[in-house]
Amino acid sequence: MILTKRMKTRFNRCFGFTIIELVIVIVIIGIITAVSAPRFFTMQTFDERGYYDEVVAAVRYAHKGALSTGCNFKVAITASGYEITKYSGCYTGTFQPIQNPAMGTAGYTGTKPGSVSSGALSFYFDNNGQPFTLGGAEITSVSSVTIGSRTLQLEPYTGFVHN
């Protein structure tokens, strides 16, 4: 096949974007990201969700610990944090700190981040996993505590924890 001069110039021509066009697009994307990103990501939202999930996991751990060991586990959620303890004699004695399974350290406690608000709730699970007040009364209605914008609910009789 014989190529004419016109055909040769057509094959030699490169197609694409110029460097100026690419830089302008990158600058526009950067401006949009800088303006909109803070609206989608605030540290308080992450702190709140993280602390809420941490408290729910701790309460569920105490519930499962009471069921598996047959001992009473106490949960204390306060405005400054939470703590999980267990009776020293399973059913009697004083509540003693337990080992944190994630950290391997004594004292299953957590501190509330400064930007998160939290209510208070204290109770214990008996050997059947049923929640009781610290005074020994059976919990007969749903108990709840608000952590930030989320609400942790504790079901009576079963000790099921949900939001």
Measured in residues, the chain has a length of 163
* pLDDT single digits (tens) 123-163: 999 999 999 999 999 999 999 999 999 999 999 999 999 98
Q: What domains can be seen in the chain, in order of their start residue?
A: 46-162 (3.55.40.10)
Q: Could you report the per-residue pLDDT of 59-103, keeping only the tens digit for each?
A: 999 999 999 999 999 999 999 999 999 988 887 888 899 988 888
Q: Distance between CA atoms of 58 and 47, rounded to whole angstroms?
A: 16
CB atoms within 10 A of CB 159: 24
Which of 4-13, 40-49, 102-111 shows the lowest mean pLDDT across its residues? 4-13
**How many helices, marked H, and strands, marked E, lie in the chain?**
3, 9
Q: Give residue for tokens 């204390």.
A: 76
Is residue 3 over pLDDT 80? no
53's enclosing H/E stretch is helix 43-69
Bridge partners, 127 (sequence order): none
Which pLDDT belongs to residue 64?
A: 95
What distance in Å separates the CA atoms of residue 107 and residue 105, rounded to the nearest whole number?
Answer: 6
Residue type present at position 13:
R
Q: How do residues 101-117 score in pLDDT, each as one tens digit? A: 888 888 899 999 988 99
DSSP string, 10-29: HHH---S--HHHHHHHHHHH
Q: Can you say how many angstroms the Cα of residue 1 is from the centroid of all Cα atoms in its chain?
A: 70
